[in-house]
Amino acid sequence: MWAANCKLAFVNCDRMWQSIKKLLFKPEFLLLVFSVAAIIISIQLILLGTHPFTLPKPPYPNDIMNRPEYMNLFIGQTNVLTEYNNYMIFKYSFFHLVNGTNLYTIYPAQHWDFYKYSPTFALLMGVLAYLPNVIGLSIWNLLNGVALFFAIRMLPFNSKAQSILMWFVANELLTCFSNSQSNGLMCALIIAAYGCMQHSKFMWATLWLVLATYIKVYGAIGFCLFLFYPGKLKFVGYAVMWTIIFAALPLTVTPLHTLVWQYHNWADLMIADATSSTGLSVAGWLESWFGIQNSKTYVTVIGILLFLIPFVRINQYKNEVYRLLILASMLIWVIIFNHKAESPTYIIAVTGVGIWYYAMPKAKWRMAVLWMVLIFTCLGTTDLFPMYVKQHFIYPYKIKAFPCIVAWCVVLADLLLLKTAEIPAARVAETGDDLK
């Protein structure tokens, strides 16, 4: 009797676990999770209220802060500011654009840090600028989460693989929400461009890439994808069209001479910003592990050359796995070779790692790389590790970056060694054992 009851309990538990797994892998459930998380984190940030911050928040670009108009203006000044600073930068950029004031200076009464995006992005933020912060911030985070969800759904993987990939990047997405960043949206736009190009929707693909570029300049890396598809003249034509339209859009609220001045200010800030910090990048890793300083320029040049090497394999351009690996390489490369890379940007690199894993055949060593990224990149800054470990190991030695650097090297090797035109490994039956 006792044995029969135990067996029945075991069967019931197994059925319950199978039901839970089925729910966890349903895309609709993931969409709900992303959406609820975006709203809850947004409300939490609002409820945290304001806190005193001492300006400037280092590191500011030295060339900018040494200018006469900034010297001693904000040093040591304390202001009461919010915990959702990035959203406030985005929101107020619209009003600065409309009022004709410099988008690329410091407004310590409103936020710390510089606005580093295009005038066009400032204009588009007008959709949210007049809304109460709790609503605007919630919509902004929702946009990042929902956009990434639908972009991943465009990947040529089965539904279960897509869902596992979403769980894999979930913690990085929460970090993006907590910092009210645009990185979830950036990642989504590049992936969506790939998905549209797979179906010859060049108008939409170029729209997403141009929009990504006008949000953050490094979004332009996605234009590499046009090499792999027919209709290149059409692609270039649409790209030029969208570029002109987006560049001119701010003219609806600001005169031409002011807009030209804003673009000039943006260029100045980008040039000055390029000289500051190494971030969670290859250059930062080399500096923290080996004491190699002032290597940023050399590392970037070497990184560009390594990134371009696989493009010589023209015979692989029609190979869907090759294209996916290039997409993965782009998403990782654009972060690990970015001197301003920080924790919230790693949603882009981690998504690239996941795409690589599901594009290639299953192997234990690939699973080991995936787990290394999950543990040290995704969870390295969480409570999984004691504060002592984080302060003396994780943070100073740029451990968050290292697994993605390793993963990118592996992606590069796979690109160079890929031999046959295969379908992605995860495009299998929904119940395929290789996805367990």
> Which helix (DSSP H) or strand (DSSP E) does residue 259 occupy?
helix 256-273
DSSP code at position 374:
I
Q: What does the block give as tokens for 347?
A: 């949603």
**Has residue 18 been placed in a domain?**
no
CB atoms within 10 A of CB 111: 25
Q: What does the block give as tokens for 240?
A: 């030029």
Q: Which domain holds residue 237?
A: 50-435
On whether the CB atoms of residues 215 and 121 are closer than 8 A, the answer is yes
Distance of CA 342 to the CA centre of its chain: 10
3-class DSSP string for 357-422: HHHCCCCHHHHHHHHHHHHHHHCCCCCCCCHHHHHHHHCCCCCCCHHHHHHHHHHHHHHHHCCCCC
**Has residue 407 been placed in a domain?**
yes
On whether the CB atoms of residues 27 and 159 are closer than 8 A, the answer is yes
On whether the CB atoms of residues 41 and 141 are closer than 8 A, the answer is yes
Would you list the DSSP string of 109-178?
TT-SS---S-HHHHHHTHHHHTS-HHHHHHHHHHHHHHHHHHHHHTSSS-HHHHHHHHHHHHHHHHHHHH
Predicted confidence pLDDT, tens digits, the chain (436 residues): 566 655 555 656 666 667 777 788 888 999 999 999 999 999 999 998 887 776 555 555 555 555 555 545 555 566 778 889 999 999 999 999 999 999 998 888 888 888 999 999 999 999 999 999 999 999 999 999 999 999 999 999 999 999 999 999 999 999 999 999 999 999 999 999 999 999 999 999 999 999 999 999 889 999 999 999 988 899 999 999 999 999 999 999 999 999 999 999 998 888 877 666 778 889 889 888 988 887 788 898 999 999 999 999 999 999 999 999 999 999 999 999 998 888 899 999 999 999 999 999 999 999 999 999 999 999 988 888 889 998 989 989 999 999 999 999 999 999 999 887 667 777 654 444 343 3
Q: Measure the N-to-C terminal CA separation of the chain; round to a whole number of Å.
A: 34
pLDDT, residue 74, reads 55
**Has residue 149 been placed in a domain?**
yes
On whether the CB atoms of residues 80 and 51 are closer than 8 A, the answer is yes
In sequence order, the β-bridge partners of residue 77 are 55
Q: Whole-angstrom Cα distance, residue 351 to residue 167?
A: 10
Place of tokens 């590069």: 412
Q: What does the block give as tokens for 403?
A: 């697994």
**Has residue 26 been placed in a domain?**
no
**Has residue 429 been placed in a domain?**
yes
- Give the contacts of 46 (CB within 8 A, at least 6 positions apart): 84, 133, 134, 137
**Has residue 34 been placed in a domain?**
no
**Has residue 416 been placed in a domain?**
yes
Q: Whole-angstrom Cα distance, residue 170 to residue 163?
A: 10
**Has residue 146 been placed in a domain?**
yes
pLDDT, residue 436, reads 39
Whats the size of the chain, residue-wise? 436
Q: Whole-angstrom Cα distance, residue 426 to residue 30?
A: 19
**Half-sphere exposure of residue 213, counting CA atoms within 13 Å on the CB side?**
19
In sequence order, the β-bridge partners of residue 78 are 54
- How many domains would you assign to the chain? 1
